[in-house]
A and B are shown apart, each in its own frame.
Chain A
């Protein structure tokens, strides 16, 4: 009985699937999916070699400090970094006093209340504070940015496929719309206020090119600030903000791996040893 019912259930599903298959195939042949500009002109990120890549990767402290400088002087004008606190900057190699100074001198202040009147006000940041957002709320962000909200950057390097490389490619990927794209898809001309960038999924991005000229940032360590250098540095910095425990993770991972390797070898030998008596007995039988 189960077999008969099952047989007909199976036949039913197969029949419906066959109808779906042939309908789909027919539609696919008679009405092939239109080519889209996104499919044809979207580029995958260029590979980016960072010190933190690979199982033994560590952050390059000097690079993170440079990246932080780019964030501070360029990105932070529009983008928040709400999951990172000033105290976390100690990981970048800054001293306690330096962190205190960075927090104190941060241009945007922390929302607060006036202790005397209870009125909303602001105060200077402390190392324990997280980075204050440049806009008070989403409406303010939209109003200032042509109706686009600049996303928070804390997790950007993990929120995109191949994050750090994506950020680097995006920052250096702005260009004029290729003529062949306009020829093939005239309707996809980049609208006013958007910017063509083949690394962005739909090719047109609200963010204007943030890194435009060499020397836009004057690095404290004297490194020559080319656009590529600044973009690489800030990508490394954002890799850190997304995964601040990476070095710890790698170090513990290596130790755990070695421990388990020894453990596995020992358990394998124990296994062979325990079963060996069984095999000897056969030889003697």
Chain B
């Protein structure tokens, strides 16, 4: 697919030949995640997270489909149906804890995946489409997770839905109508719960569709790598299978190990106790917070506390959406041709400040909206926007990057990537000659 020396699919068994001539599905798989996909030999463990995100999506869909068989999306019985799942449905408690913690693990994996992309410049040409589709998936995930959290119809479900949908009310003139239209009423109730359930079931399949587009787009230029130097020769690559299926297998083991620890030994650690209280529109919780994976954005929303030309709430909403939307433009903001931050001495410290900044924002977003958390989140939000919109363009213009290795295999020979396979065999297996691409 991507490189001329990619191995060709050659079915041996007569049945596979028969299939290949009629429905070449095995060929598609072989070329996508099998021996037919040459991958840079120097990928480190951060390249495991794409596969892990795919695994998390599959886990969510499998557990979710079964949970939907027992869940009832009706205001009067939704909370009780969750308890029915937890108490009476065979393995219901396990499925629900897997689903709830699965969402958290999906976000952990995707956040690491995004920061990997930021560090190694995966958003730069020729992989812009891969990055853009990734941001689309991220937005879809956020919508799905938000609506999923409403379904148990606990206190935090209800009040979270109320706060988040009221954000649309901040839009001038049409805001209130949009909010009422989204909720099907003036406050979250049965109409909102029903449509959220419908969309919560739909969107994961939309995500799956975008994932297919993303993998397709990825296979045109092939995977990026820690040096950021493009693949130049067969020596730079190894076939995805068995080399990276083996490495991903180990990654999957570690991922599942951590997942199991949370699901079975601390299943409610990442949730909020208030969501075990049934929704009550007449009783406002002392602290309304969304799930932890929204905390950085929630902190940005609350950081805007003064009306300046526009109302504070509208500033908050604009900032919160801009914080994600600006990621779409990253390719055009960062003008440095060097992909990997390893070779960008000036940018590197700013990257790590950004990581710390987002963690600080997350902490503030989960705390009460009071001092000192407001002041801290104001500074941190300032840095977030300054990092992408002011620092990044300037740094990328004035920076003098370190010399890049001539090729991936050269960098491997010099031991620049300890984890990678040293040069010697590459994508060319004994007895096979480089052949033209299909």
A201 partner residues in chain B, CB cutoff 8 A: 286
A17 partner residues in chain B, CB cutoff 8 A: 303-304, 378-379, 381-382, 385
| Chain A residues proximal to chain B, CB less than 8 Å | 2-3, 6-7, 9-11, 13-14, 16-21, 23-25, 28, 33, 55, 83-84, 88, 151, 154-155, 158-161, 163, 201, 242, 244-245, 248-250, 252-254, 256-257, 260-261, 263-264, 267-268, 270-271, 274-275, 277-282, 284-285
Which of A9, A151, A244 makes the CB contact (< 8 A) with B322?
A9
Q: Which residue of A lies closest to B374 (CB)?
A: A24
Interface residue ranges of B321-342 to A (CB < 8 Å): 322, 326, 329, 332-333, 335
Size of interface on B: residues with Cβ below 8 Å to A: 65
A244 partner residues in chain B, CB cutoff 8 A: 87
Interface residue ranges of B232-275 to A (CB < 8 Å): 238, 242-243, 246-247, 249-250, 252-254, 256-257, 260-261, 263-265, 267-268, 273-274
B375 partner residues in chain A, CB cutoff 8 A: 21, 24-25, 28
Known A33-B370, A274-B246; judge A281-B425 contact (CB<8 A).
yes
Q: Check if B390 is an interface residue, CB within 8 A of chain A.
A: yes
A226 CA to B378 CA, complexed, in Å: 52
Q: Check if B417 is an interface residue, CB within 8 A of chain A.
A: no
With both chains docked as a complex, state the minimum distance between the C-beta of A216 and any C-beta of chain B, in angstroms: 28
The reply to whether B388 and A275 contact each other, CB–CB distance below 8 Å, is no
The reply to whether B260 and A20 contact each other, CB–CB distance below 8 Å, is no
The reply to whether A250 and B423 contact each other, CB–CB distance below 8 Å, is no
With both chains docked as a complex, state the minimum distance between the C-beta of A89 and any C-beta of chain B, in angstroms: 13
Q: Check if B93 is an interface residue, CB within 8 A of chain A.
A: yes
Which of B93, B252, B303 makes the CB contact (< 8 A) with A245?
B93
The reply to whether A271 and B247 contact each other, CB–CB distance below 8 Å, is yes
With both chains docked as a complex, state the minimum distance between the C-beta of A261 and any C-beta of chain B, in angstroms: 7
Interface residue ranges of B378-415 to A (CB < 8 Å): 378-379, 381-382, 385-386, 388-390, 393
What are some 11 contacts across the A-B interface (CB < 8 A)? A10-B386, A16-B308, A18-B378, A24-B374, A158-B268, A256-B264, A271-B247, A271-B249, A278-B424, A282-B424, A285-B424
Which of A3, A18, A55, A280 makes the CB contact (< 8 A) with B393?
A3
A16 CA to B93 CA, complexed, in Å: 47
The reply to whether B390 and A10 contact each other, CB–CB distance below 8 Å, is yes
The reply to whether B303 and A260 contact each other, CB–CB distance below 8 Å, is no
With both chains docked as a complex, state the minimum distance between the C-beta of A154 and any C-beta of chain B, in angstroms: 7
A154 CA to B256 CA, complexed, in Å: 31
With both chains docked as a complex, state the minimum distance between the C-beta of B78 and any C-beta of chain A, in angstroms: 14
With both chains docked as a complex, state the minimum distance between the C-beta of B306 and any C-beta of chain A, in angstroms: 5
Additional 5 contacts, C-beta under 8 A, given A16-B308, A244-B87: A20-B303, A158-B273, A257-B257, A279-B421, A285-B423
Chain B interface, >50% SS class: helix
The reply to whether A24 and B276 contact each other, CB–CB distance below 8 Å, is no
A6 partner residues in chain B, CB cutoff 8 A: 326, 329, 333, 388-389, 393
A29 CA to B322 CA, complexed, in Å: 31
Which of A154, A260, A279 makes the CB contact (< 8 A) with B422?
A279
A-B CB proximity, top 3 nearest: A253-B264, A10-B389, A281-B424
Which of A25, A163, A279, A281 makes the CB contact (< 8 A) with B273?
A163
The reply to whether B306 and A20 contact each other, CB–CB distance below 8 Å, is yes
Q: Check if B277 is an interface residue, CB within 8 A of chain A.
A: yes
Q: Which residue of B lies closest to A248 (CB)?
A: B93
| Chain B residues proximal to chain A, CB less than 8 Å | 41, 80, 83, 86-87, 93-94, 97, 238, 242-243, 246-247, 249-250, 252-254, 256-257, 260-261, 263-265, 267-268, 273-274, 276-277, 286, 303-306, 308, 312, 315, 319, 322, 326, 329, 332-333, 335, 370-371, 374-375, 378-379, 381-382, 385-386, 388-390, 393, 421-425
Which of B246, B254, B390 makes the CB contact (< 8 A) with A264?
B254
B276 partner residues in chain A, CB cutoff 8 A: 155, 158-159, 242
The reply to whether A277 and B303 contact each other, CB–CB distance below 8 Å, is no
A88 CA to B250 CA, complexed, in Å: 41
Q: Which residue of B lies closest to A56 (CB)?
A: B265
Known A7-B393, A256-B264; judge A2-B423 contact (CB<8 A).
no
The reply to whether B393 and A260 contact each other, CB–CB distance below 8 Å, is no
With both chains docked as a complex, state the minimum distance between the C-beta of B314 and any C-beta of chain A, in angstroms: 11
The reply to whether A20 and B378 contact each other, CB–CB distance below 8 Å, is yes
A161 partner residues in chain B, CB cutoff 8 A: 273
With both chains docked as a complex, state the minimum distance between the C-beta of B415 and any C-beta of chain A, in angstroms: 11
The reply to whether B385 and A23 contact each other, CB–CB distance below 8 Å, is no
With both chains docked as a complex, state the minimum distance between the C-beta of B358 and any C-beta of chain A, in angstroms: 16
A254 CA to B261 CA, complexed, in Å: 9
With both chains docked as a complex, state the minimum distance between the C-beta of B88 and any C-beta of chain A, in angstroms: 9
Which of B261, B304, B421, B422 makes the CB contact (< 8 A) with A16?
B304
B381 partner residues in chain A, CB cutoff 8 A: 13, 17
B423 partner residues in chain A, CB cutoff 8 A: 282, 285
B243 partner residues in chain A, CB cutoff 8 A: 274-275, 278
A270 partner residues in chain B, CB cutoff 8 A: 246, 249-250
The reply to whether B393 and A249 contact each other, CB–CB distance below 8 Å, is no
The reply to whether B260 and A19 contact each other, CB–CB distance below 8 Å, is no
With both chains docked as a complex, state the minimum distance between the C-beta of A226 and any C-beta of chain B, in angstroms: 29
A202 CA to B332 CA, complexed, in Å: 53
Known A3-B333, A83-B80, A253-B265; judge A260-B249 contact (CB<8 A).
no
With both chains docked as a complex, state the minimum distance between the C-beta of A166 and any C-beta of chain B, in angstroms: 9
A248 CA to B242 CA, complexed, in Å: 38
A55 partner residues in chain B, CB cutoff 8 A: 264-265
The reply to whether A23 and B305 contact each other, CB–CB distance below 8 Å, is yes
Known A23-B305, A267-B250; judge A14-B421 contact (CB<8 A).
no
Q: Which residue of A lies closest to B397 (CB)?
A: A3
The reply to whether B265 and A14 contact each other, CB–CB distance below 8 Å, is no
The reply to whether A253 and B260 contact each other, CB–CB distance below 8 Å, is yes
With both chains docked as a complex, state the minimum distance between the C-beta of B236 and any C-beta of chain A, in angstroms: 13
A242 CA to B305 CA, complexed, in Å: 40
Which of A160, A163, A260, A267 makes the CB contact (< 8 A) with B260?
A260
The reply to whether A274 and B425 contact each other, CB–CB distance below 8 Å, is no
With both chains docked as a complex, state the minimum distance between the C-beta of B407 and any C-beta of chain A, in angstroms: 15
The reply to whether B322 and A13 contact each other, CB–CB distance below 8 Å, is yes
B390 partner residues in chain A, CB cutoff 8 A: 7, 10-11, 14
B329 partner residues in chain A, CB cutoff 8 A: 2, 6
The reply to whether B94 and A278 contact each other, CB–CB distance below 8 Å, is no
Q: Which residue of A lies closest to B422 (CB)?
A: A282
